[in-house]
Amino acid sequence: MKNFMSEKRTWIMIVFITLGGGILRTLCCFWGYPCQLHPDEHTIVDSAIEMLSRHSWESYVYNRPDQFEIKCCSVLFQIFSFLRYRIPAYEAFELHPGAFYVVARFYTVFWGCALIPFGALLAGKMFKKEERLQAPIQILTAGLFAFSYIFVQHSAYATPDIVLTFFFVVIAYESLNYLENGSMKALYFIAVLTGIAITIKYPAAVITLYIAYIVIYRAVTFKQHRVIVPVGFQCAGIILITMFITAPNLFTDIHTLIGIFEREARTAHLGADGLGLFGNMNYYFTTAVNSFGYVSAICFFCGLAHLIRSHRKEYLPLLLNAGYWMILSILPLHWLRWGFPMYIAYVLIAAAGFLFLFEQCRTHIKNRFAASGIRFAVATAGIIGMTSILLTSVSIVVHSLKEDTRVHAMEYCAANDITVDNSIYEGYTPLHTAVRKPQHDCFVLEEDGSVTVVPELADKEYLVISSSYKKRYAAKPELYPAENMIYQGIENTYPLIYSVSGKGINHKANDLKNIREQIKYLLSGESLTGNSIYIYDLKP
């Protein structure tokens, strides 16, 4: 009865943590509304609408490939549209596109919220032999998933990474069921989830290697070598069937798929390339450290040392995250959001490491006074670290609810007849709020450092740019000298008739400094967020 009551209290706390995380995520969903400011959300939202307009189950999207989210969102869109507008979603979308983007974000919020209790479940199963620490580790894991600003922020975008992260957590949990009791239901369920995960993002195929590993590990442990091959074929068949049901055109339109692979396998992307294998591995790890703070890094290494020393089979699911980390780092490009399945391991190990460190002070330091002092120091560091995480998550909500500079600049453009027809404009601007290639190639650099517009665009009256591309080029002047000279030439040649800047979140890895920065941001009273917008008169 005592264990039951203790477990009940634990899950009551996890439920409240989940509700808190859900509120933060829901508020972030309205960033930019009703405009579409995110460069990648259209892949899911617009593709779901396009598929519905054809009354088809096939979505002709192959690059990530986002198929599972597209199918789920298409169902949600139809339900929402008939309840709200009484017409099909593809008709309502033309009139109310912003509403459907919010619905798609709510879809991601659902998976982001589910990640919190399922992360706690995984922590409880992984650390069940740490009887005194199991419940605190579960609670702390739930807190890190719920309130880390990167999980809060990206759970409110119609993008695939949080959804994929949830599937990784459930697969890790079910793999422990298989390792413990040889449950074929758990293994088949893992295979189904793997098939779905691959239709979310292709790199999820690394899970198949993990399936092979746990099947071989258990077969060798219990001397059941004959099951390896038949079980492997069964899992492969289930994965392929699940993929076909979810996205049949990945198989029936294989030539297009190969062509997309060849096009997407690029080695250069402005601001996201050039690090190499070990550079990418370091990028993802330092991203986790910078996002969760230096206190978490200390806890992570303490937890890692304990895991290595303990050497238990319950820790094998961490190999799934490590494998994804190494495989994804082989790619020439890197993005913060790609690393979410890796950050699962960081959260679990850091949460456990903090409790292990706290417990070691109790059991291994004989001097009671010294033990109390060190435990107080560890607890204080933990409170500082968690306060830093909580404040940053509040800041990201406030940031998401403020007006973006692109939206603010739309008023000036409308009032002064600055349009897509009479302007040269880049992406991340009021004339094109999402991604669009930079426009430096529309200008010719003269010997005196000034620039002129290329002849075919000589009739354009305005240039509309943001700091987004300028900053990326400026960050690598040795690689992009010509581009930087063009932007400098624009400043020297044309009068700047309008500019606006936003205040972003200045997140620090140093937890104490970060607390100060977040308080400053929350009290600053800044009304705008986002990149700086610049409008130049090309015909002064």
Among the candidates 339, 365, 399, a domain finishes at: 399
Q: How many domains does the chain have?
A: 2
Amino acid found at 109: V
Q: How confident is the model at residue 438 (pLDDT cuts 50, 70, 90)?
A: confident
Q: Give yes or no for residue 367 having a pLDDT over 70.
A: no
Q: Give yes or no for residue 4 having a pLDDT over 60.
A: no
For residues 235-264, give the mean pLDDT: 85
Looking at the fold, whether 374 and 484 belong to one and the same domain comes out as no
Q: How confident is the model at residue 445 (pLDDT cuts 50, 70, 90)?
A: confident
Q: Are 275 and 334 in contact (CB under 8 A)?
A: yes
Comparison of pLDDT for 504 and 517, the residue scoring more? 517
Looking at the fold, whether 340 and 459 belong to one and the same domain comes out as no
Looking at the fold, whether 439 and 456 belong to one and the same domain comes out as yes
**Which of helix, strand or coil describes residue 538?**
coil
* HSE of 321, CA atoms in CB hemisphere, 13 A: 25
Looking at the fold, whether 327 and 454 belong to one and the same domain comes out as no
Looking at the fold, whether 417 and 386 belong to one and the same domain comes out as no
Task: Tell me which residue range forms the domain holding 456.
Answer: 403-537
Looking at the fold, whether 150 and 93 belong to one and the same domain comes out as yes
pLDDT at 268: 64
* 76 vs 158: CA distance, rounded Å: 13
Among the candidates 364, 381, 399, a domain finishes at: 399
Q: Which residue has the tokens 């930087």?
A: 484
Whether the model pTM is above 0.85: yes
pLDDT at 1: 39
Q: What is the DSSP letter of 452?
A: E
* Helices 206-221 and 184-200, axial angle in degrees (round to 10): 160
Residue 534 is encoded by which pair of tokens? 């610049």
Looking at the fold, whether 374 and 409 belong to one and the same domain comes out as no
Looking at the fold, whether 187 and 223 belong to one and the same domain comes out as yes
Average pLDDT, the chain: 90
Q: Give yes or no for residue 394 having a pLDDT over 80.
A: yes
482 contacts: CB under 8 Å, gap ≥ 6:
445
pLDDT at 265: 58
Looking at the fold, whether 370 and 466 belong to one and the same domain comes out as no
Using the CB atoms, write b or e for 54-71: b if 16+ within 10 Å: eeeeebebbebbbbbbbb
Q: Give yes or no for residue 2 having a pLDDT over 50.
A: no
pLDDT at 447: 81
Looking at the fold, whether 415 and 382 belong to one and the same domain comes out as no
**Which of helix, strand or coil describes residue 526?**
coil
Q: How confident is the model at residue 269 (pLDDT cuts 50, 70, 90)?
A: low
* 136 vs 142: CA distance, rounded Å: 10
Backbone phi and psi for residue 253, each to the nearest 5 degrees, phi listed first: -120, 50
Q: What is the pLDDT of residues 499-510, one digit of tens each?
A: 999 888 889 999
Q: How confident is the model at residue 165 (pLDDT cuts 50, 70, 90)?
A: very high
Looking at the fold, whether 383 and 437 belong to one and the same domain comes out as no
CA 254 to chain centre: 28
* 171 vs 262: CA distance, rounded Å: 30
Q: Are 134 and 128 in contact (CB under 8 A)?
A: yes
Looking at the fold, whether 346 and 368 belong to one and the same domain comes out as yes
Among the candidates 399, 414, 448, a domain finishes at: 399
* Residue among 63, 66, 48 at smallest CA distance from 256: 63
